[in-house]
Amino acid sequence: MTYKAEYIWIDGTEPTAKLRSKTKVLADGAEPPIWGFDGSSTNQATGDASDCVLKPAFICPDPIRGGADVLVLCEVLLTDMTPHPTNTRAMLTPLAEQYAEQDSWFGIEQEYTLFKDGRPYGFPVGGFPGPQGPYYCGIGADEVVGRDIVEKHLDACIAAGLKISGINAEVMPGQWEFQIGPAGPVEVADHLWIARYLLYRIAEDFGVAATLDPKPAKGDWNGAGAHTNFSTKAMREGYDPIITACEALSERAMEHIKGYGYGIEQRLTGHHETAPWSEFSYGVSNRGASVRIPWQVALEKKGYIEDRRPNANIDPYVVTRLIVGTVCSALEK
């Protein structure tokens, strides 16, 4: 007998990489082996030296096919078995290891927008829905669209064993959010990429495309972000490390902005619950700050911070690497 393994990897599309996948049929009991693909078709190689290597990195049950079938998230390697330049996971893992003792946790809020027939799901042909206001956490066919997809996606993430912590309808119609975490820097990113795969794959059956475009509708409509909640053991136990973390992020603000997703200037305008990308700020309860300290955290004098800057289209391996590199190194001093 056999089972199916869906090999999933991150390609070399610019400016924002996207997922690719293909299926391998394996004999029962066989581990998913190293495999390969045509890198000249994914912007990862040239035609005359097209082979790239797929190395299984994170495996979970495939809730779409069911049974013994699995999803296999892979790292892309060159044929000499060194990481491909697009392999950001390989850049994160040594740093995560270096600061493992600080026990960092991440919770990433992935916003996304459903599209059908070339416009946000629920937008009328040739026009716009009523202005923002009733849609966030809305209930009812006059306020939200796509809940059938969203519920299926939540169930699939749970069945795959992902650390998904919730979902909600967002401020713009057709826009939704799911949260992954709390989990360590590598795990949260692995789970987020698989959750994205499941979203695209499930929406596909409805003739709907999910996009991570940070500004999917121009004008007076909220963009799509990936607020990144973060703590270390020390931050979960006291307030000084929380302030140290905010100050460290302030010092390296521009380096972070560069890694927080293509088109970030279009989203971080200072309007629509954002802080301008060019000015770093932090504050208690402030959804107009770059980094928010939740009010309970300020009250209890311990907990976590929320970096509100990352775009929906981030590579989470890059964002967790930047935050661990900046904050954990500052807290070590």
- Does position 310 interact with ligand ADP (CB under 6 A)? The reply is no
- Does position 187 interact with ligand ADP (CB under 6 A)? The reply is no
Minimum distance, C-beta of residue 135 to ligand ADP, in the bound complex (Å):
15
- Does position 37 interact with ligand ADP (CB under 6 A)? The reply is no
Q: Which of 32, 39, 107, 173 binds ligand ADP (CB under 6 A)?
A: 107
- Does position 24 interact with ligand ADP (CB under 6 A)? The reply is no
* Cβ-based nearer residue to Mn ion, 177 or 315: 177
- Does position 44 interact with ligand ADP (CB under 6 A)? The reply is no
Other beta carbons within 10 Å of 206? 14
**DSSP reduced 3-state for 225:** strand
Query: Any residues with CB less than 8 A from the CB of 49 and at least 6 apart, and which?
Result: none
Compute the distance between CA of residue 223 and CA of residue 264 in angstroms, rounded to an integer: 10
Q: Which two tokens stand for residue 282?
A: 């932090």
* Burial of 260 (C-beta count, 10 Å sphere; 0-12/13-18/19+): buried
Residue 175: contacted member of ligand ADP, Mn ion, none (CB under 5 to 8 Å, by partner type): none
Q: Which residue has the tokens 């190395």?
A: 55
Residue 282: contacted member of ligand ADP, Mn ion, none (CB under 5 to 8 Å, by partner type): none
- Does position 182 interact with ligand ADP (CB under 6 A)? The reply is yes
Parallel, antiparallel or unpaired: strands 70-77 and 2-10 = parallel
Q: Under rule CB under 5 A, how many of the chain's residues touch Mn ion?
A: 3
Q: What is the residue type of 168? A: N
Minimum distance, C-beta of residue 93 to ligand ADP, in the bound complex (Å):
20
Is the CA virtual torsion 267, 173, 308, 107 positive or negative? negative
Span interacting with ligand ADP, options 72-80, 83-91, 99-107, 208-216, rule CB under 6 A: 99-107
Parallel, antiparallel or unpaired: strands 19-27 and 2-10 = antiparallel
Query: Is the previous residue joined to 316 through a cis bond, with omega within 30 degrees of 0?
Result: no
Query: Mask 231-250, x = binds ligand ADP (CB under 6 A)?
Result: x----x--------------
* Burial of 68 (C-beta count, 10 Å sphere; 0-12/13-18/19+): middle
Strands, E, within 90-169: which ranges? Answer: 105-116, 119-120, 164-169
- Does position 102 interact with ligand ADP (CB under 6 A)? The reply is no
Q: How much helix, strand and coil, in percent to the nearest 5, is found in the chain?
A: 30, 25, 40
Closest CA to 294 of 280, 284, 309, 281: 284
Q: Which of 211, 229, 311, 313 binds ligand ADP (CB under 6 A)?
A: 229
- Minimal CB distance to Mn ion: which residue? 227
Residue 236: contacted member of Mn ion, ligand ADP, none (CB under 5 to 8 Å, by partner type): ligand ADP
- Does position 177 interact with Mn ion (CB under 5 A)? The reply is yes
- Minimal CB distance to ligand ADP: which residue? 107
* Cβ-based nearer residue to ligand ADP, 106 or 176: 106
Q: Under rule CB under 6 A, how many of the chain's residues touch ligand ADP?
A: 17
Query: Mask 178-217, x = binds Mn ion (CB under 5 A)?
Result: ----------------------------------------
Q: Which residue has the tokens 């799911």?
A: 178
Angle at 328 between CA 92 and CA 242, to 5 degrees: 130
Q: Which of 165, 244, 250, 329 binds ligand ADP (CB under 6 A)?
A: 165
Report the interface residues with ligand ADP, using CB under 6 A.
Answer: 105-107, 109, 165-166, 179, 181-182, 227, 229-231, 236, 303-304, 306
